[in-house]
Structure 1
Amino acid sequence: MTDPSAWDDVRRQTAAEMLPRLRDLVDECVVYINAHQPELASDPELAAGLQSSAYDNFEQIFRMLADGSPVFEASAPAGAIDYAEIMVKRGQPLQTLLRAYRLGTMYFWRLWRREFVTRIDDPDELMQAVDHSMQFVFDYVDAIAEEVTEEYAVQRERWARSAAALRHETVVRLLSGEGIDLDVATQRLSYDLRRRHLGLVLWTHPEHEAEDVIHRLEQGARRLAASMGAPRPLLVPDGRTTLWAWIGFEDEPDPDLLDHAARDSDALRGLHAATGEVEDGIRGFVDTHTEALRAREMAERSGRRGQVVRYGRVVVSSLLLADTDRARRFVARELGALAAADDATTRIRATVQVHLEEQLRTGVTAKRLGIHQNTVTYRVRQAEALLGRSVTDRRYELETALRLLGSLGD
């Protein structure tokens, strides 16, 4: 293969034949990187960013090889630029980003070399193909890595100077228990830490990677705060798809007001939200946030959408689900046929749960569910037939099983 055109023909054909397998090859590469950098897989934003960056880079290099484009024409694709920004906002050091590129390069090189070994029999020709392609691949990665390093530095400086970064740093220090003067923290956050606090977590799953959802999350948090009579919540973005929020109260808020806000799906408008309970002072600032995070876990586990999940409503399930296998066995034993997933049984189960929450008051249950009292009575009888006992027998176990079933998900 002394003729350079021969190398061009081989690389063009090889790259063109590999392009249809692009998505599978990227998935394999991401698995390889995550095996060596598990911290990237444990964070949803880092995982999504890695997938997008790997895909865009693989697609670009395959197309350049297939088209015969010179390596100096390479520039960092959109996914790679976005990944540098995500790394900054998730607090990851530059070394982590560059190591991902080294691992990705190693995977790609092994993949590309393996293709040549299966296509070229002559040892001399194979050596020349390896030399040419190695030069191309490593020059490409060197150029891209230099560009994303510059982007990382720009984003890091921008983030470090922003007010959002200062709020985030201050909040993280408070949550971690680091010593920080309360008056200084209050001034930085423009939020009185000595009040009562209700912690919230809002999140969403955008349809497009480039979509800026933080503004939507902030609007949702403000609508929820306004519905509780507290127009100025503390808002702290945590990455690109999650918002931490705290609503401050001078006095103990009306529980009915909180319940009404939790049922106000119009405030969310397609977003997801979870709250802690109202807690006092700096200790309460931390505790209510931790509770909101646990409530989010329960919401994600159960697949709840379009509603605010309050920690107080799921605290028992959260504690009991520390052992999911035992929880599933407990639910199956207590509910039996009442655990069926069909629509009719689901309605019966929901009615019984509200009936128990309302202390077996048929009228109150009917009003809350928007159905006739006779329907409540009929569904309770159906539930008792499925259970083989009265709903008042083993009542605590029944209520617990109903809550757990709603939190276990599939």
Structure 2
Amino acid sequence: MDHTWVRELSAGSPEDGVTSLGTRHRASSVIGENATAWAVTAGRRMADYILETLVDWPGDHSDGEAEALRRATEASTLDTLTALVAGDRNVLAQSAEPLQNVSYYVRHGIPLDEVVRNVHAGQEFLTQELLGCVEALVPEESRMRVVKEMTRVVIESWSLFARNISVQYADEYERWSRSRDGVTARLIRRIINGVRVDRAEAARELGHELDQSHAGLVLWLAGVDVDSARAFDFGAVAREIAAVSLSGHHPLVVMRGFSQADVWLGSPDAAVADRLRDHGAWPSPLRIAVGRPGSGLPGFRSTYQEAKAAQHVARLSRTRNAVTAYEDVRLVSLLAADAERAGAFVRSVLGPLTAQDERTVELRRTLAAHIDANGSIALTSRALHTHRNTVTYRLRRIDQLLGEKRNNTELRCALELAACLPSAVLAPPHP
């Protein structure tokens, strides 16, 4: 059947995709640019649907996991549309990017039945989306016939896909469980989760002394597609970081998919983040989150957890800075642990001060400085390098917008979130 209606799909607000350019170009050559943009947007919604539906999902719900899921849902949506237009049910089963997620799930200990449940939730979402599109785009006299054929192609394509996922998972699990990287990752997971281990034996397995000080880091690539990420040498970068940080030991590196690595430095200089910033020669897409150095097994755990928290803030802020240190963002990391609730809090506390125009940004900055100056206009003026009359005018305007009775503690927290994470907490949530 001719599914030309697919080419009529169009995204109302196109988004940047996280699938590789190769995947998008291949799909676009069959279904067109507009349908490709629709698939990218629908893929993001599919990822959100899966995370909301599978409330007992055993993953860690980290930013990296969400990005890996979105990459797979975008690709599977693109490949499903390609299958409809090309009439080839094998397109999805042979798709590279969703299958690459299998490696991610194996490495993070997600069981196969949970992965398959993930696939079924994705199929359910996409079927409903496409049914709505058929109703909107296909003439009524042809609609029932198109719905039957579309449903059959989707079911067959996703059944082949699920079968191939299962085979790939078994093969990857066997390979990973026997590999050196697999042994290392499982041992580190036990340490991070607080499971008791024999320190001497663990140190031999890891090639990393545990009774020393550690600095945990998370390295990842921002805005880089999978094809480019595969070529990036995280090991070489980790060794350069160790040298810059005056760590006299070979860094412990654990890959988390193609675009992220967890790193531990042994006995580094205390000012790791400052040294990395001063170095200043890192590749432009590289981002580095740094935990505070800590000693022994507790330090091994805490510095990594801090690096993960710093990474979360860096991702939310969409920073272009190469280095984010936990000690610089620890308050924001606590306030933004739940980004959705943090946004609701900011919008509730700041109200009309959540606008993102330049004048409102100045008002927020002035209010924050005034709270920090304990209400002194002179100190506020000095901190902002602004005439006191201007500060007084802004404060009057703030009083008009917020009222004079307010909780300065909540206000200061909301202002800090707005300053550090404007794109995450000021904009209204997705419908």
- Compute the TM-score of the two structures, normalised by the length of structure 2: 0.65
SS at match of 1:297: helix
In structure 1, the partner of 2:420 is 407
Q: Which runs of 5+ in 2 are unaligned?
A: 10-34, 374-380, 394-408, 424-431
In structure 1, the partner of 2:101 is 83
1:302 and 2:317 aligned: yes
Preserved CA contact (<8 Å) 2:84 2:153: no
Among residues 127, 140, 143, which one is paired with 1:118 in the alignment? Answer: 140
In structure 2, the partner of 1:168 is 185
SS at match of 1:305: coil
1:246 and 2:264 aligned: yes
CA–CA separation in structure 2 for the residues paired with 1:288 and 1:224: 16
Preserved CA contact (<8 Å) 1:271 1:306: no
Larger Rg: 1
Aligned pair in 2 of structure 1 residues 248, 383: CA closer, same or farther (>3 Å)? farther
In structure 1, the partner of 2:386 is 382
After superposition, give the CA deviation of every residue in 1:175-232 in whole Å (9 maximum; x if it has no partner).
Answer: 1101111111101110001001111111123432333358443333322211122252
In structure 2, the partner of 1:54 is 76
Among residues 281, 284, 302, which one is paired with 1:287 in the alignment? Answer: 302
Q: Which runs of 5+ in 1 are unaligned?
A: 1-10, 357-376, 390-396
Preserved CA contact (<8 Å) 2:214 2:303: yes
| Aligned ranges 1:141-160 → 2 under 5 Å | 141-160=158-177
After superposition, give the CA deviation of every residue in 1:39-68 in whole Å (9 maximum; x if it has no partner).
Answer: 489432332233234224313321233xxx
Aligned pair in 2 of structure 1 residues 73, 287: CA closer, same or farther (>3 Å)? closer
1:237 and 2:250 aligned: no
CA–CA separation in structure 1 for the residues paired with 2:161 and 2:384: 65
The RMSD of aligned alpha carbons is 4.5
* AA partner of residue 274 (structure 2): D
More deviation in 152-161 or 274-283?
152-161
1:190 and 2:207 aligned: yes
SS at match of 1:82: helix
* AA partner of residue 84 (structure 1): V
* AA partner of residue 301 (structure 1): L
CA–CA separation in structure 2 for the residues paired with 1:401 and 1:103: 36
SS at match of 1:239: coil
CA–CA separation in structure 1 for the residues paired with 2:73 and 2:275: 40
Among residues 263, 275, 278, which one is paired with 1:260 in the alignment? Answer: 275
- Compute the TM-score of the two structures, normalised by the length of structure 1: 0.68
CA–CA separation in structure 1 for the residues paired with 2:118 and 2:414: 45
**Sequence identity, in percent?**
20
Shift of residue 104 of structure 1?
Answer: 4.1
After superposition, give the CA deviation of every residue in 1:134-175 in whole Å (9 maximum; x if it has no partner).
Answer: 665544443333333222222222222222222111111101
Shift of residue 294 of structure 1?
Answer: 2.0
After superposition, give the CA deviation of every residue in 1:230-266 in whole Å (9 maximum; x if it has no partner).
Answer: 252111123332221111118xx354x7523233331
Preserved CA contact (<8 Å) 1:30 1:51: yes
Preserved CA contact (<8 Å) 1:265 1:306: no
